[in-house]
Chains A and B, each alone.
Chain A
């Protein structure tokens, strides 16, 4: 049993076992992430991962890269400072839906608007998992959570629509079942200059599935298998997710727009003559 797993060199073995529950999709997404890092040929010295708080927030603690586990909701502004201070870094924000879109929602739309150089990977498990399954900004209508015991009666955000409308240059959605496609999306996103966004629909058997009687992690994967519709180039506004409805997945946006750092420094150079 002394054989090394081929991914071990990118994981902090001394931090394993991880905290994620059986059937959780975060670990699968991390496998994709590591494969994507390998495939993209990025200089691993120059890759930094920034997380917020929550189950997905713990990703930063397991990858053997420069990694920062910040405050709740603040991964994106921390990453903004890091990316601007050292433009040679490939900065990846890896966090959950509550962290990035509720408490951190304002930072999310503004980083997309600015087109800051970063890839944001959002694991969407439809609620606050780490704190015990409370309702969140992506909880589907009528789904139950520990603070919506009778069902959620607030319209959720459609994250890919939000990202696209805010100005992201790359927007994709996959589920924790679509490992090869998710890996490919990550590779594409890493190559993109500017703000790229990937939503990963992920099972939370412990909170979301249990409370809504959806079975175990495998049952949720089966659900993704039967109900995901791949529709590349779909208009993000037509991709809302309801409670146990079809899930439209695919690459929705892949466009060019000057990234914040390049645009700002070029224009400042023109106007002021740059550094004297």
Chain B
């Protein structure tokens, strides 16, 4: 039931990680399992402080493998669940992220990205896990990943992530970064009635007729939880609609394309982007997370020089808004893609543009945000 400690309605000055924790609480998350890692730990710390007063369960697990697995178990126990991590922990979570995909388990994984590879830059920013977010676990699958650019968005997108995970029965990734996680800004937490929450899609029919993996029209099967007498069997093996293991090419063909298509075919409903001045743009900056904010200064400088620059900010990075990129590709001299890595999302932009225009990477090896002048230079060169 509602109590005034659940949603801290009002205006706050808080950092992104704290805002993320508050977003999770506002979304109804009541189970958190995690392992300490810089620069994400403030999320776990805030949750551990806040959960007792709202009846949530916080557990610090022995590693990130266990953390990811525990939130899957909790989700099947009927509680909205989340974990958070950064680079090395994200690598460890890939194993059971795949299990979450296969078991179609709603849950949220927040990655406050730092510089890699390996231990890399524990305290400094990176955006180098973007392709790992898409392809990190083995096998074919589709995932949903959101990219916040501010503490406010870490609050808002964490709620959005829970809603999408319940809607599509898939783990949803919030791909933050060290700067967004650690910067403090104004965060507005709306009143409870203004926060839209999607309930879990539960099956309520008789147990003997229930098929745990029989999809609805939108390819997502309704769910039940443990302890309600449905006697479900849920496995990471390839399985039939009953949930029973079936090791055959036929079963694989029935299951895995559906897991992919429930995201692909609903991509138009899932994808969110933010455009500004793309209508008459000669150059469009495509960016996400903190780099999208750094780009704003470069765009301002370019406009002062009379260059028509537009901005397409990726809110949903996965699934990727390839249709929109393709539409815009034939209208511009080029895309400019600043990201704090040596080239990841730029290849996706290039792929989506299908040769209609070029995509120029503005790379950064990590440890700092871009100098807007480097982005400006790329905008200028695009018109040469």
- Listed in ascending order, the chain A residues whose CB lies under 8 Å from chain B are 12, 14-15, 45-46, 48, 50, 60-61, 64-71, 73-74, 76-86, 88-89, 106-107, 110, 268-269, 271-276
Asked whether A66 lies within 8 Å of B31 as measured between CB atoms, the reply is: no
A68 CA / B77 CA spacing, docked (Å): 11
User: In the complex, what residues of B have CB within 8 A of residue A83's CB?
Assistant: 73, 77
The answer to the question of B37 belonging to the interface, with a C-beta cut-off of 8 Å to chain A, is: no
Central interface residue in A45, A76, A77, by most chain B CB within 10 Å: A77
Give the shortest distance, in Å, between B16 (CB) and chain A (any CB): 25
Asked whether A86 lies within 8 Å of B227 as measured between CB atoms, the reply is: yes
The answer to the question of B229 belonging to the interface, with a C-beta cut-off of 8 Å to chain A, is: yes
With A67-B233, A69-B233, A84-B57 as known contacts, state yes or no: A74 contacts B66, CB within 8 Å.
yes
How many interface contacts (CB-CB < 8 Å) are there between A and B? Answer: 151
With A80-B66, A106-B62 as known contacts, state yes or no: A68 contacts B53, CB within 8 Å.
no
With A61-B245, A78-B73, A81-B81 as known contacts, state yes or no: A66 contacts B65, CB within 8 Å.
no
Asked whether A12 lies within 8 Å of B77 as measured between CB atoms, the reply is: no
- Listed in ascending order, the chain B residues whose CB lies under 8 Å from chain A are 3-5, 31, 33, 52-55, 57, 59, 61-63, 65-67, 69-79, 81, 95-96, 98-99, 103, 225-237, 244-245
Asked whether A84 lies within 8 Å of B233 as measured between CB atoms, the reply is: no
With A45-B228, A80-B66 as known contacts, state yes or no: A85 contacts B235, CB within 8 Å.
no
Asked whether A69 lies within 8 Å of B73 as measured between CB atoms, the reply is: no
User: In the complex, what residues of B have CB within 8 A of residue A67's CB?
Assistant: 231-234
Identify 19 residue pairs between A and B in the complex whose beta-carbon atoms are under 8 Å apart, listed by A's number: A46-B227, A61-B235, A68-B226, A76-B66, A77-B67, A78-B70, A79-B73, A80-B59, A81-B31, A81-B77, A83-B77, A84-B70, A85-B73, A86-B78, A86-B225, A88-B227, A89-B226, A106-B62, A276-B53
With A48-B226, A77-B65, A272-B53 as known contacts, state yes or no: A15 contacts B244, CB within 8 Å.
yes
A86 CA / B72 CA spacing, docked (Å): 13
A79 CA / B55 CA spacing, docked (Å): 20
Asked whether B73 lies within 8 Å of A50 as measured between CB atoms, the reply is: yes
A60 CA / B3 CA spacing, docked (Å): 39
Give the shortest distance, in Å, between A227 (CB) and chain B (any CB): 36
A12 CA / B243 CA spacing, docked (Å): 12
Asked whether B226 lies within 8 Å of A82 as measured between CB atoms, the reply is: yes
Asked whether A78 lies within 8 Å of B244 as measured between CB atoms, the reply is: no
Not counting A61-B233, A68-B234, A70-B72, a sample of 4 additional A-B residue pairs whose C-beta atoms are within 8 angstroms of each other reads A77-B67, A85-B73, A86-B78, A273-B53
Selected contact of A74 from candidates B33, B69, B225, B229, CB within 8 Å:
B69
Give the shortest distance, in Å, between B58 (CB) and chain A (any CB): 9
Asked whether B70 lies within 8 Å of A81 as measured between CB atoms, the reply is: yes
Asked whether A66 lies within 8 Å of B244 as measured between CB atoms, the reply is: no
Central interface residue in B33, B75, B77, B245, by most chain A CB within 10 Å: B77
Selected contact of B33 from candidates A14, A81, A88, CB within 8 Å:
A81
A273 CA / B63 CA spacing, docked (Å): 30
Asked whether A107 lies within 8 Å of B62 as measured between CB atoms, the reply is: yes
With A268-B52, A275-B53 as known contacts, state yes or no: A82 contacts B237, CB within 8 Å.
no
User: In the complex, what residues of B have CB within 8 A of residue A12's CB?
Assistant: 233, 244
A273 CA / B54 CA spacing, docked (Å): 11
User: In the complex, what residues of B have CB within 8 A of residue A61's CB?
Assistant: 233, 235, 244-245
Asked whether A77 lies within 8 Å of B226 as measured between CB atoms, the reply is: no
A65 CA / B229 CA spacing, docked (Å): 8
Selected contact of A85 from candidates B69, B78, B96, B237, CB within 8 Å:
B78
Nearest to A72 among chain B residues (CB) is B95
A70 CA / B245 CA spacing, docked (Å): 12
Nearest to A79 among chain B residues (CB) is B73
Asked whether A81 lies within 8 Å of B73 as measured between CB atoms, the reply is: yes
Selected contact of A274 from candidates B53, B67, B234, CB within 8 Å:
B53
Asked whether A45 lies within 8 Å of B76 as measured between CB atoms, the reply is: no
Give the shortest distance, in Å, between A224 (CB) and chain B (any CB): 31
A82 CA / B78 CA spacing, docked (Å): 9
Give the shortest distance, in Å, between B66 (CB) and chain A (any CB): 4
